[in-house]
Structure formats: structure tokens, C-alpha cells
Amino acid sequence: MDLRLINKETVRELLSMKRAIELMRDAYTSLSAGMVDSPLRTALVNDAGTVLYKPAYSDSAGVFCAKVVSVFADNVNKGLPVTPGIIIVNSAETGMPVALVEAGYLTSLRTGAATGLATDLFCAKGVKVAALFGTGGQSYHQLEAMLEVRDFETIYVFSRNEENAKRFCAEHQSAFPNCKLIANPCRGVLKQCEVITLATTSPVAVIYDEEISDNVHINAIGSLGPNRTEVGTDTMLRAKVYVDQKSACLAEAGEICLLAEAGLIDDSFEVTEIGEVLSRPSEVLLDGVSVFKSVGNAIQDLVCTAEVLRVAELDELGQKVSL
């Protein structure tokens, strides 16, 4: 069989953040409309980390895909990616494998694109101040996505390691000259923030209700698992909560699962899929506290992979190999 191998550099060349955000609109709309076959992912866990197996198919994408991605937090101390992965693509017509795509960069990009879409949907147009928690492998695309949809003047960057925050700001400031990046300021600045994006591996909340404004949108896309949360309990209980997929978040998102386990919420706790919002955006209220919780969904990988493969085939990019 013949496969097209598509590496990180080709993915970067073929898929911009702007286009990825557009694809997230299609992805989440299709997901909430029941037009996607995207089973709950399978997670295999050991003491070092998690390996996830995530398949998806939709008629509109025209291919099957399955991503194998791992989350190993200590890789950052080993000079390795925290979230490496690959995507295998199968033809919708024959079932034959047709491509193998490097998934680390694509995963980071599409995760950032989800944040960009949520920020665009749930934040007023004139927001100027934001915060970003986390400086790991996905943080650049979180920053890029926020600045793709809003003209922030200041973004405060927080890390448990102050040197990491300083390094991150120094490395990326020149790419965003109209936005001042400030490393690890006093946490009192969180009251000024109209958007807060959380991209950490912390097992416990990294922001608390008394620290934030009464009008703020929070993107929680980091810590993975039903026993881990990036957002404090009181904030979750008073926020409008949006998710990528209800069934997945009710099973896997610690921000919600821990509330249920503690008896603080029941089946009446209201969460809304972002795809449902896209079908009626005029109903979104932009005041108060809102949280977008994403555990990731394979439809994100599917639409981005299909786009990359489409262009790669047109332009004869990637390496063709026979197995």
C-alpha cells in the first residue's frame, strides 16, 4: 500500500490559525448536530502519563482518522514533546490507509483554535486584557489564537517557574508587537483580565473565584482527567459553562466531575455544547462569568487532517512511501 507521510513542517505550512478556527466552527457544528461518528476516546494510563486513542469519521471530511497521542508532563524535563502523536488516515471509499500525519503540532494548533473560537463567541469585541496560564508546548498556539480573534493590548503570562514565563514572553513578544506580554506579575492583575486561558498540567485549580472579575471568560483546556481541575469550585458553580461535547466532559472533565462527586451539582447542572451555540449565536450573553471546558474531540483532528491532506495531495507535498 502507498502512504503519504506528512511531517510537522508541512502541517505548519498548509494550515494557518485563522483557517483552523474556521474549521473548528464546522467541526463543532457537525458534532452537536449528530453528523460525526466520534466515540469516546480510549485512555491507557501508567505512572508516567497517558496514551489516548481517538477515532473519528464524518461524510463531509471524506476520510476516517485515528489519532494516537500521549500526554507525559515530565517530557519537558527530558527535552521531549509533552504531547507527541501520529494520525493514521483511511480512505472513506476503500478503507485503505492513505496517509500518516505528525500529530503533535496539529494537536497544539487545533487546541488553540478551539480557544480562539470560544474567545470569539463568548467575549465582547473590545476586550483588551487577558491572562495565559502555562508556558508549555501548547501555550504558543493558545496565545496566537487569542490574538487572532481579539486585539488584546496586554496579556499576563503565568508559570509556576518564573524563568519559564520570562523566557516565553521574550521568545514570542516580537511575533505580537501590538500586545505587551508580561511575565508572572502580581496575581492582583487577574481582576483586570477579561479573558483567562488555562493551559497547564496542574491537578488542582490554578485560579480562584476571589481573584477574578465578575465579567470574565475562562478557557480551560489543560489538565486532563476526571480528578483534575484548573478552575475553582465557586467559579464553576456561578459560571455559564460551555463544553466541546457533553458526554465526554461529563465523563472526563474534572471541572465538572469533581463537583458531581462532591454532591454540589446534579443532573440539572446546565452545560451547553459550543456547537449548539454556533447554531444560535445571538442568544449568547456576554456578561458575567463563562467557562469553556474542552477535553478535546477527534472531530478537531479529522477536519484539520482532511484539510491538510487535501492540499498536500493537490500540491504533491509530503513523502510517498510503499509498505
The full set of domains in the chain, from first to last, is 2-107+299-322 (3.30.1780.10), 118-296 (3.40.50.720)
Apex CA 285: angle with CA 133 and CA 150, to 5°?
45
- Residue 83's pLDDT is 80
Apex CA 287: angle with CA 238 and CA 126, to 5°?
140
- Residue 282's pLDDT is 67
- Residue 176's pLDDT is 97
Question: Residue 78 in contact with residue 71, Cβ under 8 Å?
Answer: no
Apex CA 101: angle with CA 28 and CA 50, to 5°?
70
> 0.75 cut: is pTM over it?
yes
* Cα 66 from Cα 88, distance rounded (Å): 5
- Residue 233's pLDDT is 96
- Residue 188's pLDDT is 96
- Residue 191's pLDDT is 97
Query: For residue 70, what is the enclosing H or E element?
Result: strand 63-71
Residue type, 298: A
Positions of the chain with pLDDT lower than 70, given as ranges: 282-283
Cell numbers standing for residue 223: 489538565
pLDDT 10s digits, 267-314: 889 999 999 999 887 667 778 999 999 999 999 999 999 999 999 999
In sequence order, what DSSP letters do the residues of 220-257 get, joined into one string? Answer: E----BTT--SB-HHHHHHSEEEES-HHHHHHHBHHHH
Q: What is the DSSP letter of 292?
A: E
pLDDT 10s digits, 219-258: 999 988 899 999 999 999 999 999 999 998 999 999 999 9
